[in-house]
């Protein structure tokens, strides 16, 4: 296992995981665009992830697609590869590679918090654990998502004449937010900016019921007292000012940083993340039983430092091409 310019590479099986450039064989952990890129000869992923890629890039995004359901091993020369749920978004997977008696697990993006739009994270015991570290600093502690939803519903009750516009990413966060609203008992129609429709419809087609949602109507006045979701980039756009007495909100793990909320002109920050917070990262690292930890995209140094202090071998992989995932 090693790092090449294209990404994480398994020499024993001659394949890449989430490569950032076109390669001959790629395992894709999940559908977010920095992990799932078009143009590979062969793309291997869960059926949901392949459906997401086809929805975003069009059919033919790879020359050949191989559906690999969770827990079904596939062999590449001497290497055996199995996907396990990562709990991040619909279809998201961890990749376990077994070779020469050693087990190496790549987490992809993951979280341990319950989320009915993604299969629950499954712990994969391993010798080497490759973990993401998007929120890899001790200051990051994600609150209970239902508490954040309560903030939104309380604001709706106090300001019934205001459209509550929530910025959230099209894949994963939008559907999670709707699901959390339903869990809190909100059964009204949720209005969606056009850019969020295709992925939300896809979730429903893939068996995740989200209740009534509809595109934003032409007559914006009817949106007083309603919840409207849009991509984060639209929050500060002229479009948002066409909504009645709009209250800008955003759902993201980054909302716990006040400066980020301010920068995006967010008045109602909702800390809802699809990544592990610091305690979840630490817990998972220990639970895997791995003696060696490789840390990738995010705040690598702090987690590497923690692991070494805990007596584990650790290194930062410094893979290039993965974004800061503002949407998380
Ligand atoms: Zn992701
Ligand atoms: Zn990521």
Report DSSP letters for 21-73, one per residue: S--SEEE---SSTTT--S--SEEEE-HHHHHHHHHHH-TTSSSEEEE--TT--
Ligand nearest to the CA of 297: 2
Q: pLDDT digits over 208-222, tens only?
A: 999 999 999 999 999
What integer pLDDT is reported at residue 119 of this predicted model? Answer: 98
Q: What is the pTM of this model?
A: 0.96
**Residue 161, strand partner residues:** none
Ligand nearest to the CA of 32: 1
Q: pLDDT digits over 134-150, tens only?
A: 999 999 999 999 999 99
What is the CA(88)–ligand 1 centre distance, in A?
7
Which of 185-189, 236-240, 243-247, 286-290 has the lowest average pLDDT?
Answer: 236-240
The closest alpha carbon to 181, from 152, 154, 208, 155, belongs to: 152
What is the CA(36)–ligand 1 centre distance, in A?
9
What is the CA(162)–ligand 1 centre distance, in A?
32
What is the CA(245)–ligand 2 centre distance, in A?
35
* Top CATH class, 145-270: alpha beta
Q: Where are the domains of the chain?
A: 2-139+275-316, 145-270
| Cα gap 45→72, rounded to integer Å | 11
One DSSP character per residue, 136-174 reads -STT--PPPHHHHHHHHHHHHHH-TTS-EEEE--TTTHH
CATH dotted code for 2-139+275-316: 3.60.15.10
Q: Decide if 2-139+275-316 and 145-270 have a common fold.
A: no
| Cα gap 17→3, rounded to integer Å | 10
What is the CA(92)–ligand 2 centre distance, in A?
11
């Amino acid at each position: 296992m090693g790092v090449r310019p294209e990404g994480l590479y398994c020499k024993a099986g001659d394949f890449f995981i989430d490569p950032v450039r076109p390669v001959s064989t790629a395992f894709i952990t999940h559908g977010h665009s920095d992990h799932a890129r078009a143009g590979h000869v062969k793309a291997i992923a869960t059926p949901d992830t392949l459906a997401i890629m086809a929805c975003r890039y069009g059919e033919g995004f790879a020359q050949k697609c191989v559906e690999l359901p969770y827990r079904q091993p596939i062999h590449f020369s001497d290497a055996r590869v199995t996907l396990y749920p990562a709990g991040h978004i619909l279809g998201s997977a961890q990749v376990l590679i077994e070779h020469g008696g050693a087990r190496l697990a790549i987490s992809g993006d993951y979280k341990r918090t319950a989320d009915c739009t993604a299969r629950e994270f499954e712990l994969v015991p391993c010798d080497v654990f490759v973990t993401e570290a998007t929120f890899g600093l001790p200051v990051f502690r994600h609150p209970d998502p239902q508490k954040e939803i309560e903030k939104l519903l309380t604001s709706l009750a106090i300001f019934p004449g205001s459209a509550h516009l929530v910025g959230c990413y099209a894949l994963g966060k939008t559907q999670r937010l709707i699901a959390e609203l339903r869990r809190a008992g909100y059964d009204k129609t949720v209005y969606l900016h056009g850019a969020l429709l295709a992925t939300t419809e896809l979730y429903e087609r893939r068996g995740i019921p989200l209740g009534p949602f509809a595109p934003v109507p032409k007559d914006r006045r009817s949106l007083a007292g309603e919840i409207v979701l849009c991509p984060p980039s639209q929050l500060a756009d002229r479009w948002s000012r066409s909504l009645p007495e709009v209250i800008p909100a955003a759902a993201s793990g980054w909302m716990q940083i006040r400066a980020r909320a301010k920068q995006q002109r967010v008045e109602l920050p909702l800390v809802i993340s699809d990544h592990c917070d610091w305690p979840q990262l630490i817990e998972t690292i220990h639970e895997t039983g791995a003696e060696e930890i490789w840390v990738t995209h995010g705040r690598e140094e702090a987690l590497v430092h923690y692991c070494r202090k805990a007596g584990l071998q650790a290194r930062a992989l410094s893979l290039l091409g993965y974004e800061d995932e503002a949407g998380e």
